[in-house]
Amino acid sequence: MIITIEGPTGAGKSAIALELAKALNSDIISCDSRQIYRYLDIGTAKPGQSELEQIKHHLIDIIEPNQSYNAGLFCRDASQIINRLQAEDRIPILCGGTGLYIRSLLDGLFEHPRINPSIRSMLLERLRLEGADALFNELMQIDPDFAAKISPNDPQRILRGLEVYLGTGRTITEHWANQNKQKRYSAFRILISPDRETLYLRINHRLQQMLACGLIEEIHAVLARGYSWRDPGLNSLGYKEFQAYFESSTDIDSCASLAAQHHRNYAKRQMTWYRKVTFDLTCDAACFNLFDVLRAIKA
């Protein structure tokens, strides 16, 4: 068995995963598509040093900000850790809001014919000329279900959605629906789901905390290492919005307001995704009861 702690950004998943990992003497496997990047700590809400010292966290800080990662690599890496923990008779705890990663791990990745590389080259050129917003809007028309599950600031997945459609004539959503689903793991799935008003307040407050903790200084340091706004790490939610401030074209408050808005929009899309998933337990972080969960797992 594995346990998944899922939910929108800012819902309070990490604290619950830590509590559960302590109770079960196990490790946490991050299912967050941004915490994989080294040096991007504050803006991705990575666990702090205290949390990392208490419980082993996996799949955090595993690639450089200019590298790419995807669901297939996640499944490979997470499966190795899961198998090792299960061999030690421990229950792996997966925590994160990247629903595509968890879905791919549990249901498997769909297979499709090889796609002509020229399609990716063409889309990359369009991305350069037209920008991610234009391609995301096109994806919304072609595959609205998949588009609702990703961020408009995620060019890698936007390109993937368009590439699969142009290369196969079917959307990613159609490929998922037609695949032979075989559960790879028995999972007890927990959804942390506060009401929308509470969640949005938490998101706004957390962004202000990030700024107070040195988000701008963190971005300065990453840029000083030679990384750019075109790299996947900085071209992601919570970082990209501050590019205009660094280029002196707007003030920091405007950038922060935009970042908070994008986080709220992302949380809304995540909740749309979760409405189509069956969970064993749904609760707000404030109402989480560890003992009830432990009883349910043992039942």
| Separation in Å, CA 72 to CA 76, 79, 166, 216, 235 | 6, 11, 20, 32, 21
d(CA 188, CA 216): 38
So what CATH class is 117-178? mainly alpha
Q: Where are the domains of the chain?
A: 2-108+181-298, 117-178
Tens of pLDDT, residue by residue over 157-212, are: 899 999 999 999 999 888 877 765 567 899 999 999 999 999 999 999 999 999 99
Q: Quick check: do 2-108+181-298 and 117-178 share a fold?
A: no
Give the pLDDT confidence score for residue 182 in this predicted structure: 63
Tens of pLDDT, residue by residue over 111-158, are: 666 889 999 999 999 999 999 899 999 999 999 988 887 878 788 889
Q: Which CATH architecture has domain 2-108+181-298?
A: 3-Layer(aba) Sandwich (3.40)
Tens of pLDDT, residue by residue over 220-247, are: 999 999 999 999 999 999 999 999 999 9
Tens of pLDDT, residue by residue over 243-289, are: 999 999 899 999 999 999 999 999 999 998 899 899 999 999 988 99
- The size of the chain, in residues, is 299
d(CA 68, CA 269): 22
Q: What are the backbone dihedrals phi and psi of residue 95, each rounded to the nearest 5 degrees, phi first?
A: -135, 125
Percent pLDDT > 70 in the chain is: 97
- For the beta sheet containing 187-192, the strands, ordered from the edge strand earlier in sequence to the opposite edge, are 57-58, 28-30, 93-95, 2-6, 187-192, 281-283
